[in-house]
Structure formats: C-alpha cells, structure tokens
Amino acid sequence: PCLRCVVTTAAGLDHVDLAECARRGVAVAGAGETFSADVADHAVGLLLDVLRRISAADRFVRRGLWPARGDCSLGSKLSGKRVGIIGLGSIGTLIARRLEAFGCTISYHSRRAKDSATISYKYFPSVINLALESDVLIVACSLNNQTKHIVNKEVLEALGKDGVIVNIARGGNVDEAALICALKGGGIAGAGLDVFEKEPEVPAELLSMENVVLTAHEAVFTVESASDISDLMIGNLEAFFQGKPLLTPVLPEQML
C-alpha cells in the first residue's frame, strides 16, 4: 500500500499492470528510447541473415561441406524488398529508416495512422492487408490483449511462400504454432526470431530449420545499452526521491 513508484529496465511494459498502477496513483518509469537503436539494428541484422543465409553459410563452411558440395544455396537480396512494420513506434521508426537506406519500400500497421506530415509510409489499418502487400513483416509492437497473436495463420497465409517474418517484439505477438506450421509446409520462406512464447524454451522444430535464425532475446543488449539503462534507472530513482519529474515516465494514456 505504500508503493508510489515502479521503475523498469525492460524495453516493454507487458509485465507491469499499468491499469492498476494508474488506479493506485503509482508512477511508472520505463526504459524510454534507450534500447530503440540497438533493437532496430538487431532487426535489420536478423533480416539480412535470413535473406542472405549468413548463419546457414557459416555452418556450411564450418562443417566442411564447401569442398564436398560446392557452392551454398542462393540467398535473396534485401534491396527493393517491400517491408511491412507492425508497430511504428520508436523502434519501428528506426527500423524503417535503416531499411530505407537499403532501398526498401516501407509500409506499416499501428493502432492509428501517424501524422502524414512527418511519416510518409503507407498505412494499413489491417495487418492482413499489410501482409498481402509485403515481402517481409517485422513485428515491433508492444504486447497487450489487442496484439497477442497479431501475426496468426491468416496473416502468414497472406504473406505467402516467399515471405519472411522478423520478430523483435514479444513472443506472444506471433502465433508460434502457426508459424512453425507455415515454415514446415513452405507457407513462408523464413524467419528471424529474437523472442519466443515460452522463453527460454524454444520449440525443437525451429532448432532444426536452416531457414530460421534464432537469438536469445538479446536485441536490447549491448555494452552501451547496459551502461545507458543503468544511468537512466539511477536517474529515475533520484528524481522520484527528490520529488522531481521522472526522466522517462509512462504516459497516462499508456496506462489505461
């Protein structure tokens, strides 16, 4: 009952009961944009790896298969790809900017369209329609009741057999069973996954797939971000105890 402030060092807020905090008048400080650039870099890295088969080629060489089998199977170019981003917040926007530099065409889905004066990307109110017009879907939204399994069987079917999924958001944003089924059956071409539904457990089916790149929910973690988030956490705590505004408060509309 004495709780007055919650400070989280996580990129997301799905582990904090924001509505109850708002009801009790408990202030919440998040990570702000501390991790945004690192996560955006990681998303692009996963996409490049899946398309150009970098990890697969590394395994091919290390296993001594190059002399025996000749060249590795061909990958696919990134430039010119139509990329749909689910969630055009801080992270999604930075991913879009990076992929624009590769010559990709960017579209997006969010709760609402962004101001067209600052965001020129095409907006899709439907994730299925976004998938129909994309070669790649990148999941960069928060996890809540509205976005759980936002990528489901129907979205994967709309993306199609040449499509690629990258998820750097939360495992629950993607229907993992439907994803595995699509990958096994050739319904989509590949996936780059940093997050999973039951971490740290990863489905065995994914571990054996050459067209899937897996990382251990590490998109946020760099030497620089670890230092930055420590400074931010201390700064928020100092602000709270000194009666000053929090450095990275969670806005009231995010808590309702």
**Which domain CATH number covers 158?**
3.40.50.720
Give me the percent of the chain exceeding a pLDDT of 90: 93
- Active-site residue identified among 20, 154, 199, 218: 199
Beta-bridge partners for 82: 105
**pLDDT value at residue 75:** 95
Residues 194 and 247 in one domain: no
Q: In sequence order, what are the residues at sequence separation of 6 or more whose Cβ sits closer than 8 angstroms to the Cβ of residue 31?
A: 8, 9, 10, 11, 229, 232, 248
Residues 52 and 140 in one domain: yes
**Ranges 87-91, 115-119, 200-204: which has the least confidence:** 115-119
**Ranges 9-23, 34-48, 86-100, 170-184: which has the least confidence:** 9-23
3-state secondary structure the chain: CCCCEEECCCCCCCCCCHHHHHHHCCEEECCCCCCHHHHHHHHHHHHHHHHHCHHHHHHHHHCCHHHHHCCCCCCCCCCCCEEEEECCCHHHHHHHHHHHCCCCEEEEECCCCCCCCCCCCEECCCHHHHHHCCCEEEECCCCCCCCCCCECHHHHHHHCCCCEEEECCCHHHECHHHHHHHHHCCCCCEEEECCCCCCCCCCHHHHCCCCEEECCCCCCCCHHHHHHHHHHHHHHHHHHHCCCCCCCECCHHHHC
* pLDDT > 80? residue 121: yes
Residues 23 and 41 in one domain: no
Residues 46 and 169 in one domain: yes
Give me the percent of the chain exceeding a pLDDT of 70: 98
Active site residue 217: yes
pLDDT band for position 41 (cuts 50, 70, 90)? very high
Residues 77 and 13 in one domain: no
The two three-digit tokens of residue 91, written as one number: 């992270």
pLDDT band for position 124 (cuts 50, 70, 90)? very high
pLDDT digits (tens, 9 = 90+) for 144-170: 999 999 999 999 999 999 999 999 999
* pLDDT > 70? residue 254: no
In the chain the first and final C-alpha atoms are separated, in Å, by 20
**Token pair 């590394």 is at which residue?**
58
Residues 11 and 40 in one domain: no
- Active-site residue identified among 42, 53, 170, 197: 170
**Number of domains composing the chain:** 2
Residues 177 and 101 in one domain: yes
Active site residue 62: no
* pLDDT > 60? residue 117: yes
Which pTM does this prediction carry? 0.91
Residues 142 and 60 in one domain: yes
Active site residue 15: no
**pLDDT value at residue 240:** 97
**Chain-wide mean pLDDT for the chain?**
95
**Token pair 């009666």 is at which residue?**
243
Residues 126 and 242 in one domain: no
Residues 55 and 22 in one domain: no
Residues 167 and 115 in one domain: yes
pLDDT digits (tens, 9 = 90+) for 43-75: 999 999 999 999 999 999 999 999 999 999 899
**pLDDT value at residue 238:** 97
Decide if 109 contacts 124 (C-beta within 8 A): yes
pLDDT digits (tens, 9 = 90+) for 215-236: 999 999 999 999 999 999 999 9
The region, left, alpha or beta by phi > 0 then psi within -120 to 50, assigned to residue 53 is: left
Q: Give the count of beta carbons closer than 10 Å to the beta carbon of residue 226.
A: 12
Q: Which domain holds residue 244?
A: 5-32+222-254
- Active-site residue identified among 52, 82, 98, 217: 217
Torsion sign (Cα): 100, 220, 165, 206: positive
**pLDDT value at residue 11:** 80
pLDDT digits (tens, 9 = 90+) for 68-106: 999 998 999 999 999 999 999 999 999 999 999 999 999
Residues 231 and 109 in one domain: no
